[in-house]
Amino acid sequence: MNSTTNQALNQQIHMELESSYLYLALSAYYDSKDLPGFAHWMREQSREEYGHAMRIFDFLLTRGAEVTLDALGKPAPEFGCPTKAFDQVLEHERSVTQAIHRLYEAAVAEGDHATSVELQWFIQEQVEEEKSAEDVAAQLRLGGSEPLGLLIIDRQLAERE
């Protein structure tokens, strides 16, 4: 693995860990707003993002590459209404998708087949990530401004495994 790809994968680890931290902050925020379903969804998302970071971490170690970890930024303390938050979540997931696409294109250009294959899993995963966030955002735009609609969505989100 060349040093450019190694550095880019370390940056992706950082992005995934920052995502995990963001979702954990969102979980705490919605728990404090008495929306346990939203809090649960965000906590599960945090766990998933942490798993993504660890998958890249382990991939680098398997390849004998260097792992470097940078400090994480502090998430915002306020996130506003769930509709606004899920619009931000969707935008965030789209930025992660773009980063993974850039990584994949660089690996292909370098002829790094092992990294290209590993990143294909992430490309598919991001399709699911965006779809999941888009589905909730769409439901919130339809009925999330009404208290009953918000409570129904909150109950649905509590069922996420």
In angstroms, the CA 54 to CA 70 distance is 14
Instruction: Identify the pLDDT of residue 160.
Output: 83
CA distances (Å), origin 140, targets 26, 28, 126, 137: 16, 20, 21, 5
Mean per-residue pLDDT of the chain: 94
- Residue 10 scores a pLDDT above 90: yes
Fold of 3-158: Ferritin (1.20.1260)
Instruction: Identify the pLDDT of residue 81.
Output: 87
44: Cβ–Cβ under 8 A, 6 or more apart, which residues?
160, 161
The answer to whether the beta carbons of residues 1 and 112 sit under 8 Å apart is yes
Tens of pLDDT, residue by residue over 97-129, are: 999 999 999 999 999 999 999 999 999 999 999
Tens of pLDDT, residue by residue over 50-92, are: 999 999 999 999 999 999 999 999 998 888 889 999 899 999 9
Provide the pLDDT confidence category of residue 37 given band limits of 50, 70 and 90.
very high
In angstroms, the CA 29 to CA 78 distance is 7
For tokens 């935008």, name the residue.
91
In angstroms, the CA 112 to CA 141 distance is 42
